[in-house]
Amino acid sequence: MEHYSFSFTGYQNFDAVAEKLDAIYQKAFGFDNYDYRIAVTEAVCNAARYSLQGLTEAEIRLTLQISPVSISTTVYARTTPFDVHSYRKKLQKLLEDPDTAAKDWGDHLGSIDASRGIWYMLTGCDSVYFDYRGQSVTLFAYLEPKKEDKADKKDEEREPRATRIDLLLPRFYIKEHGVIL
């Protein structure tokens, strides 16, 4: 298993780390997994935006673990407390209406910017684990088998990520005291 760790202060300093991450992700996935990169960027953006120190002074830490079959990136920052349980319950209510559940998340939100980051995270990952206080998020994805075969495919030939609400919400998990809920 490979492990990486990065720390930086302020969202404005993420670009230098992002370049290093891009190379690591390219090697792990065997292709440019744009959806996963966007998920990580959104997690970092949220960490900085809701940091107790503010956007430009946020102390952000990223840890990566890569196994032969999966990758996970955890983004941590001291942020304003966030009731993740209540937020997930609110999102789960979207599944009660079959018409809403079958919608693409972008069609549901329309032009509203609120919560877009979480939907991008869910779209780019196989599972997303939120700390119950909102202090960290872990973005998990399986590495596709036969990476070398996938590397030759153009982006438009790869199977697109799910974007329907009923396919994404089951990917939303909460970590609380070492337990996944």
- Residue 11 in this model has a pLDDT that exceeds 60: yes
> pTM, whole model, 2 decimals?
0.88
Domain of 171, CATH number, reads 3.30.565.10
Give the count of domains, the chain.
1
Q: Which percentage of the chain shows pLDDT scores above 70?
A: 87
- Residue 175 in this model has a pLDDT that exceeds 90: yes
Confidence band for 178, pLDDT divided at 50, 70 and 90 = confident
Confidence band for 62, pLDDT divided at 50, 70 and 90 = very high
Strand partners, 127: 140
Output 103 or 2, whichever has higher pLDDT. Answer: 2
How much is the average pLDDT of 140-147? 77
- Residue 21's domain spans which residues? 2-180
Taking all residues of the chain, what is their mean pLDDT, rounded to a whole number?
Answer: 89
- Residue 146 in this model has a pLDDT that exceeds 90: no
Q: In whole angstroms, how far apart are CA 135 and each of 36, 141, 150, 178?
A: 20, 20, 35, 14
CB 124 within 8 A of CB 166: no
- Residue 153 in this model has a pLDDT that exceeds 80: no
CB 172 within 8 A of CB 110: no
Task: Enter the tokens of residue 150.
Answer: 């996938």
- Residue 48 in this model has a pLDDT that exceeds 90: yes
Q: Is the dihedral of CA 34, 35, 40, 43 positive or negative?
A: positive
pLDDT tens per residue, range 63-119: 999 999 999 999 999 999 889 999 999 989 988 988 888 888 877 765 455 578 899
Task: Enter the tokens of residue 100.
Answer: 């809403």
Task: Enter the tokens of residue 65.
Answer: 């673990």
Cα separation, 68 vs 90, whole angstroms:
35
